Amino acid sequence: MADQSFWKNKRVCVTGGAGFLGSFVTQKLVERGAADIFIPTIEKYDLVKQSSIKQMLEDSKPDIIIHLAAQVGGIGANLSHPADFFYDNLMMGVQLIHEAYLRGVEKVVALGTICAYPKFTPVPFQEDDLWNGYPEETNAPYGLAKKMLLVQSQAYRQQYGFNSIFLLPVNLYGPRDNFRPESSHVIPALIKKCLEAKTEGAKSIEVWGDGSPTREFLYVEDAAEGILLATEKFNKSDPVNLGSGMEISIKDLVTLIARLTGFTGELIWDVTKPNGQPRRQLDVTRAKREFGFKAQVSFEEGLRRTIDWYQAKLDAEK
């Protein structure tokens, strides 16, 4: 249950607030009655730089920071830019938490990533297994950079009593997602491929890997709700998974997206391309227990909404 009173007279800074997830978090903040929301834009604040972070904090004077800004992408983008993904994400998060502590900010909500988990983790992934091995190689630099925010959150709480929390969202999807082929994740990439193939009358589409890995997905509005519930109710530095608790193979995912988009051609698997982590599914009991979060939107319904949104965007561009 949302706590409307929590946001009364609170100044909230949402880094990445103009992005995919951030736009839904901001929308829900407005619905909860938050009147003072500051969204730093990349044009004005380069959050990789300490000077920009200081300027942003001076301009926004926040009581609460929700740190969503990140350098993200699919397997291809991670393989092409591992150094950027490591450096940019580490610098943004570590300096932001430190400067927030120095300024006496009331609470920081830091977002991690499912990529922080070890490559071979008992399924479903439990938060206590986070340190039991090295992450999957294709996105380890990104996953480890984000994982350092958990270390920092726990260290600053222990030494300074600083209130920050660390959430581990699974792969997100939904309307307003990034559909650019060079940096998109698997769901928007597949939706785009299927719709383009259908429009062009193509007989087949190519898909990376062999289809055997499994993934879990969380609808973006559910993720936004989980983040705000945690902000309102959770005040520990223990990591918390944010997910739907469902698991689907990439093969079944592609088949489902093809059906929902109306693409009836052949699926060709490029087994020379990496599969990524073998299985991913989160144990979501801690989020339910600690702040009452449970995903509401079914996977097929979420996919329909995403496809409808993207199709409408394509139609508007014609």
Mind listing the pLDDT tens digit for each residue in 262-289? 999 999 999 998 888 788 899 999 999 9
Domain boundaries, the chain: 4-173+218-245+280-297
Q: How far apart are CA 155 and CA 148, in angstroms?
A: 10
Q: 53 and 99 in contact (C-beta within 8 Å)?
A: yes
Indicate the residue type of 238. Answer: D
- Quote the tokens at residue 81: 């830019």
Can 117 be counted among the known catalytic residues?
no
Indicate the residue type of 106. Answer: E
* Strand bridging mode 204-208 / 266-270: parallel
User: Tell me: the pLDDT tens digits for 47-84?
Assistant: 999 999 999 999 999 999 999 999 877 777 778 889 99
Q: How far apart are CA 38 and CA 225, in angstroms?
A: 19
The residue assigned the tokens 């581990």 is: 168
What is the reported pLDDT for 89?
97
What is the reported pLDDT for 245?
92
What is the reported pLDDT for 316?
94
pLDDT over 70 percentage in the chain: 100
Q: How far apart are CA 191 and CA 188, in angstroms?
A: 5
Report how far Cα 116 is from the mean position of its chain's Cα atoms.
12
Which is the catalytic residue, given 101, 142, 156, 173?
142
The whole model's pTM is what?
Answer: 0.94
Total residues belonging to the chain: 318
Tell me which CATH code domain 4-173+218-245+280-297 carries: 3.40.50.720
